[in-house]
A and B are shown apart, each in its own frame.
Chain A
Amino acid sequence: MSAPLGQGRLRLSITILGWLCLAGAAPLDAATPQPAPTAGVVVDGQSLQPLSDVVVSAGGVSTVTDRAGRFRFDNLSGTEIELSARRIGYRPIVQRIRAGDQSIRIAMAATAINLEEVIVTGTPGATERRALSNSVSTVDVSGVAEIAPTRSVTDLLQGRAAGVVAIQPGGVVGGGPRVKVRGVASLSLTDQPLLYVDGVRVDNTTGSGPVGRSVAIVSRLNDFNPEDIESMEIVKGPSAATLYGTEAANGVIQIITKRGRRGPRAVWDAVTTQGASWFANPAERIGPGWGRNAAGQPFSFNFVEREEAAGRSPFRTGHNQTYGLNVSGGTDALQYFLSGNFERQEGIDPTNDMRRTGGRLNLSATPMPSLRVTANVGYLTGLTNFPADGGFGGPVWSLIHAQPAEADTPGGGWIFGAPRDWQEAFFFSQGLDRVTGGLQFEHRPASWLSQRLNLGIDRIDENNINLIPRMGDRLLAVFGGGLGAGSKTIQDRSARTATVDFASTATVQLGSIESQTSVGLQLYRRVESRKTARGDAFPTSGLEALSSTARTSVSEDGVINNTTVGTFIQQQLAWQRRLFLTAGLRADDNSAFGSDFDAAVYPKVGLAWVVSDEPFGPANLINMLRLRASYGQSGQQPAAFAALRRYLPTTGGDGNPTVTPSALGNPDLRPERGVELEAGFEAGLLDERVGIDFTWYHKTTRDAIVAQELAPSAGFPGTRLANLGKIQNRGFELQVRTQLIETRPAALELMASVAHNSDEVLEVGNPNGFIALGNLRHQVGYPVASWFGPKVISADINANGDAVNILCDNGSGGGVACSSAPAVFHQRSLPTTTGSLTPTLTLFNRLRLSAMVEISRGRWMIDGDMSGRCAESSTCRQLHEPGAFKTTEVAGAQMRSSLNYALSDASYTKLREVSANYSLPERWVRRLGAARGSVTLSAYNLGTWTDFTGIDPETNIAVMDVFSATSYANTPPLTRIVGAVRLSF
C-alpha cells in the first residue's frame, strides 16, 4: 500500500526536494557547449521492474527516477564518472559510467531484509516492518507476475510464503485449493484464512461450485487477477491477527491492488500470455489394470495406451490465453489505475474451460492536504465449465476401472462408460458475477492524529448448474434409465459481505519515546443465500430447462446472516525507532455467539528490538539484527445460528405446515480461541547479502468447537456445536535469501524457505477420546485428522493366492483377529514440512532465469485409484499377482481395507516452475512506440518426485471438506508452458 503520508516517505521527499532545489540552483553557463545528456533506467535486480524514487547521483548532481525508473542528467561532463544510486530497501550501488551514455541500466539488489517496508496492520497510518513484533510474509506480486505469469492468487501463494500450505483439488481448470496457514486451528470450523482486498473483507469460500464431489472445487480466492495486485501480505497466527478479532484464528491474507502514481503522463501496460497445458504421461501415471486371461494367468492392460494408439486419446492439450491492459497515472490531486482483462483457459477434458472478463478501477484523490480518499472497484464475470472428474466419475475414472479381461470385447472393457461417454453425458458449470468495492478515507487532522474509515462491499452471485440431458440409446445403455432420463440441478448462491472499519491513531513524542495509541471499531456483516432447485426426467432429448422436467422440487431456499461488531485499542511505545513495545486488546460480539455469552476479548503484547541500531552497533558479520516476540489471541466464530434452538418447517400429515426439531442449539456457545506465542528474528549478514527470517511459534486452540453428539433421548437429532476441544500447533518458519553472485554481467540469488508444523489433538470433549470422520480421526494424543483403522500385522498367502491367518494389531502390540481388532493409528494426513528453493540468475541486467522447487513432507493419502481398482472393479495388481506385494498388503486388498494397502506417502518434490524473462532493449521497444517491454517463457509442473502410488499427490476428491486426503480418479496438476509479452507505453 502506498503511504504518502508516512513519515519515512515524507522525510525522503524533503531530502529529494532539497537535492532537487540544490540541483536547480546550480548556475548554468549559457556560453558553455552543452554536453550530450546522460540517461538510463534503474531496475530491481530481482524482477527487472523499473524502480521509481531512486536517488541517482553523478558528478555532484542528483536526480530521482520517475515511475518508469528513468533518470537523466543534462550536463555531466568528463568521460567516465562515478554514478551512485540509493533507495530505501535496496543496497546502494556505485558504478562507473560514460558521460553521454543514454542507455545506462542499473540493477539494484534489494536488501535481504527491508525494515522500512510498510505493512498493513489494521491500524491507520504506515507501520514499518521494524515495528512489528510478529512475522508477516509479503509476496511481491507485481514482481512475480513480471517474471513468471501466474494464473491465480493461490499460484502466487504456493511456495512463496513459508507456513502457507495449499491443498490442491487437482488440475481441473477453475479449481482452487484449500489454503492452510500454520496447520489446522479447528476441528469443525473452516480452515480458511480471512481475506481482505484493500482493507475490505471479502468472501473466501472454498469448495464452491456445482453440487457434488470433485466438481465443487472453486476457490473464491482466485477471483482476483494477479495482474491487478501489487502485493499480498499473509498474517499468519493469532498473535499477529489479534486486531482482526473473531474469525482471524486461521490467519489473514491482505491483497493490495495496484495504484496510480503521479507522473507527467499516463502509463499504459499491456500484457498477453499464450500457453498450453496437458496431462503429462497419462499412460504411466494412470497405469494398467490387471486381470486374468482365459488360462487364468494374470496380465496387465493399459487402456490409455490403447486409446492413444487408436487416436482416441481422452485428453486434449488445452490452449490458455490472457489479455490485459491497464493505464495508470495522475496528478498530485488525483491518481488512477484502470485495468481490463480477458482470460480463457482450457482444461484437458473437452468439457472443461473457463472464460472470465474483469476490470478494476482504483482512484486516489487528495482533496485537501490532510485528507486522502481512495475508491476501488473490481468486477469479474465469467463462466466455468467443469468435467466429470474424481470420485464422481469421468474419463480418468473410466480408464481406472476398465476391465483388462474384457478389453477385446465389443464393449472395449469399459465397465461404466468410456471416457467419451462421460464427456457427452454430464455437464457442470458455474456462472459468476463479482463486484468488490471500497471507499477509504485517510484523514490527518493534526500532525499527531491520523484516522481511517474503510467502507466496503463484496458481492458474489454464483449460478451453479448440474445438467444431465436426456440420453440417447447408446448412453442410456451405459448409464441406465435413472440417469438416462436426465436431470438438472440449479444452485444459486449469493453472498454479500459489508465492511465498516474505523480506526484512529494518535502519535505523540515523549522525549525519546514515541507513543502511538490506536483505537478502532469494526462492523462486518455477511449475508449468504442459497436456492437449490432440481428437476428430473426430460420428456425428450434437446431440452435443458428446469421447467421442462417432469418433476421439479426446491430443496433449499435459505439465508444465513452473520454480523461481527468489534472494537480494539492498541498502544505502541517506540524508543528511538529501535525498541518497540506493543500491547492491544480486541473485543468482539458476533451474532453466532450464544445468548449466554457476551463478548470475546483478545489480548496481545509484543516486543521488537532492532539490535543492530543500538550504539554498540552491528557485529562484523551481522549488519542487521532484529529480535521479536509476541503473544496474542484471536478467534473463530461458530456457524451462524449454531447457538440457537431451531425447528425446520415441513409438511404435516394433513398437508398443513408443521415444524420438526432440527437443532438443539447451545446458548453457551462461544468462539474458538487461538492463543499463540511467537518469537523470531531477522538478520542481515555479509553486507546484507544474506537475509535470514526465522520464526518459532506455539499455537493452541482453546474452546475448539466440536460437533457434540446428542443423546437421541433428548429429542433433538444429530449433533450440536460445543466448545469442548483443544488443539496444539507448534513449528517454525525459516526463510533465507542470499545473493551468491553479484557482478554486473551476472547475479545469482537464492531464496529458500522451509516451514515445519507439528499438530496434536489435546481434547475432544467426549469419553471416546476421538471424533471419527470415516477413517480419519481427531484422536487425543495424535495429529489432527489421522488415519485410524484396523491394521494388518501379519498374514500368509496360500496356494490359491488367498490371504489366510490374518492378524491385526490389537492395540497393545499383539495380534488379534481383524474382525474384532480396534482402530489403531496408521499415519497422519496433513503435511508437516513444506518448503521451496528458488534460484534466480540474472545476466546482463536483462535476462533472468529462475526456477522453483517445492517440497512437501508428512502427508499420507489414500490412493483411491488403487482402492477403486481393488475394491470396486477387482483390477488391481494385488489381487492378481499377490506375490509382488507384502502379504499384509494383499490381505488388506482382499479385505478391502484401504488403509492396509492404499495408504500412501504423499510427500513430494516438484519442479514447480522454470522461467526465462528477457527485458527487451529500449531501442527495440521504442520502435513499437513503447517505453519498455519484456518477453517471458515459463513452464510449470515439469517434474514430480514422489513415492505416492496414485496419479499425483496434489489431488483430492473432496477439497470442499476441511479434512479430505483421498485422491481418486482426479485430473492431476497439468504441465503448462506459457509465453508472455509485456509492453509499457
Chain B
Amino acid sequence: MPSRRFRAASRRGAALCLLTATLSACSIFDGLLEVTSVDQVLASDLETPANAELLVRSAVNDFDCAFSNYTLAGGLVADEVAWGDNNSFDYERRTFTEVGGTYGTAPCSTGAGGEIGVYASLSTARFGNYRAHELLTGWSDTEVPRRAALLAETSAYEAYSILLLGEAMCSLAIDTGPELSRPAAWAAAEAKFTAAIAEATAANDPNLANFARLGRARTRLNLGRHNDAAADAAAIPAGFVRQARFAGANWRSTNQLHQWIRIESRAAVDSFYWHLSIDGTPDPRVALTHTGQTTLNGNQLVTPNKYAAPSSPMPIARWAEARIIIGEARLAANDPTGAIAIIDELRDAADLPNYSGGQTVEAVRSALLEERRRELFLESHRLGDLIRLNQPFRPAAGTPFRQGGSYGTMTCFPLPDIERRNNPNLALR
C-alpha cells in the first residue's frame, strides 16, 4: 500500500503535470507564436478594404511588368529584337521547349538573373487582378471608395492578361484549370472585357471603358471576327492611349526594352527595322539610335528611341491600333479604299506621305500590315500578328544561328511542363 508520503508526492506531481499541461495549452502561447514580417506583407494583413486601392494598383503593376517582359520576349521570337545574349538564345533562335523553359517559370521580379518571363508573369498578373476583383466584389461601396471603377479596372487588366496569354502561348491554363486552346482563351478574355465595359460604364469611366473596348476589339480580331472587332474599335476616340507605366526605380519597375537594350546591351533592335522610311521620309514611328557601341556579343547596339529612359511608358492600347483593326476589317470586307484611308490617317498623324501604292486588296493588305508593323513597333503585337496572319518568321527555320545550332520551328510558346506536372486538371504527356 502506498505510503502517505508517496500519495502526497503523487498529488504534487499530478498537480505539476496539470499545471504544465494547462500552461502549454494556454492562449498566452498563441501570442508568442505570432510572427511578423518587416519585409513582406502577409495576405491576412493585406486583403482588407482599406487596402483596396493598393491591391488594384499592385495588380495593375504586375500586369505592366508582365507586359514589358512579354513585349521583349515576343520581340525576340518575332523580328523586332535580335543579337540577344546567352539568356535569350532560345527565344531568338525559336528553340524554346516546354521542358524547363524560363518563359514558363520566370516571375516578373527575377530581373537580375536575366530571365524573361512570359507564362508565369502574365499568370501572376491575371491572378492579381482576379483576386482583387474577387475581394472587391465581397466588399461594399461604403468600405471602398471608387469600388465600381476598381472593379472595372481589375476586370479589364485580367482580360488583357488572358488575351496576351492567348497570343503568346500555344495553349494555356487559367487558375489550374483545363488546357485551353488559344481561341478558348480569347473567348474567356472577351467575356471578361465585356464585363469590364459594363463595370466601367456603371462607374462612369469612359477611358476605362475604351481600354476594355479596344482590348475586346483586339480579342475579336484574333478570333477572326473582323466586324465585331471594328465595331469596338470604332468607339475609340482619337488620341486614346492606355500605357504600362514604369517608375524606373529598380529592375522590376523598369521598361524591359530599355533595360535589355540600352542599359545592359544584352540585345539590339533587329536590322529589319533599321532605316525605315516612306518615299524617302524617315519613319518616326521606328526611330532608332545607332549608338556606335556593341552588344555583349559584339553586334551593333541599335536602340529604340521610343524607350529612351528606364521610365518610358509602353502603350498597351491606343487609337492607332483601333484604326488598323478597322482597316483590317475593311479589307476583310473587300474595301481596299477604306483601308487606304486608314493608312493615310496614320501617316498624317506621323507627318508621312500618303499611300501611293497599288489599289488591289492584296497590295493594300500588304501595306496595311507593314503600317501595323511600324506603328505598333515594340508594343506587344508583332509575335501575335505573325502567328495570326501566318506570316513567315525570319530567318527561316534551319538557318544557322550565329552562336551555334540553327533557327527552330517554334512560334508560340508551348504549355510549360511545370504546368502539366502540377496542374491536377492536366494530363502528363
Contact = CB atoms under 8 A, between A and B. Distances in A.
Interface stretch (B18-26, B83-91, B196-204, B362-370): B18-26
B21 A567 contact: yes
Given A652-B57, A710-B422, A589 B41 contact: no
Interface residues of B, number: 71
A541 B183 CA distance: 60
Contacts of A563: 32-33, 35
A712 B32 contact: no
A660 B124 contact: yes
B43 A718 contact: no
A525 B37 contact: no
Interface string A550-587: 00010011111111011101000000000000000001
Given A504-B16, A557-B39, A590 B245 contact: no
A714 B418 CA distance: 12
A712 B419 contact: yes
B41 A646 contact: yes
B399 to A, nearest CB: 20
A508 B9 contact: yes
B282 interface: no
Interface string B111-141: 0000000011001101110110000000000
Contact of A591 (B20, B35, B64): B35
Nearest to A590: B33
A651 B252 CA distance: 8
A922 interface: no
B166 interface: no
Interface in B220-255: 244-247, 249-250, 252-253
A768 B421 contact: yes
Contact of A650 (B17, B126, B250): B250
Contacts of A510: 2, 6
Contact of A713 (B108, B109, B423): B423
Residue of A553, A563, A651, A661 with most chain B CB atoms under a 10 A cut-off = A661
Contact of A589 (B33, B58, B104, B423): B33
B126 A715 contact: yes
Contacts of A506: 9, 12-13, 16
A650 B109 contact: yes
A769 to B, nearest CB: 11
A651 B174 contact: no
Given A709-B421, A713-B419, A716-B127, A565 B33 contact: yes
A714 B128 CA distance: 10
Contacts of B24: 521, 565-567, 587
Contacts of A708: 422
Residue of A556, A561, A640 with most chain B CB atoms under a 10 A cut-off = A561
A656 B55 CA distance: 12
Contact of B176 (A590, A658, A714): A714
Contacts of B428: 767
Q: Is the interface of A mostly helix, strand, loop or mixed?
A: strand
Interface string B376-394: 0000000000000000000
Given A589-B29, A641-B40, A645-B43, A716 B124 contact: yes
A557 B23 CA distance: 35
A523 interface: yes
B39 A644 contact: no
B62 interface: yes
B81 to A, nearest CB: 22
Residue of A525, A710, A766 with most chain B CB atoms under a 10 A cut-off = A710
A40 interface: no
A547 to B, nearest CB: 20
Nearest to A715: B127
Contacts of A569: 17, 20
Contacts of B128: 660-661, 715
A654 interface: yes
Given A508-B6, A713-B175, A716-B124, A660 B109 contact: yes
Nearest to A558: B39
B95 interface: no
B182 to A, nearest CB: 15
A939 B21 CA distance: 54
A559 B38 contact: yes
Given A557-B39, A717-B124, A651 B253 contact: yes
Which 6 pairs show the lowest CB-CB distances between chains A and B?
A715-B127, A653-B245, A717-B107, A558-B39, A645-B43, A712-B120
27 contacts: A506-B9, A517-B17, A521-B23, A557-B38, A561-B36, A562-B35, A591-B33, A641-B35, A641-B40, A645-B43, A646-B37, A646-B40, A647-B41, A649-B41, A650-B252, A650-B253, A651-B250, A652-B245, A658-B61, A659-B46, A711-B418, A711-B421, A712-B123, A713-B175, A713-B423, A715-B127, A767-B421
Interface of B: 2, 6, 9-10, 12-13, 16-17, 20-21, 23-24, 29, 32-44, 46, 54, 57-58, 60-62, 64-65, 104-105, 107-109, 119-120, 123-124, 126-128, 130-131, 172-177, 244-247, 249-250, 252-253, 313, 416, 418-419, 421-423, 428
Interface of A: 448-449, 504, 506, 508, 510, 517, 519-521, 523, 525, 553, 556-563, 565-567, 569, 587, 589-592, 640-641, 644-663, 665, 708-718, 766-768
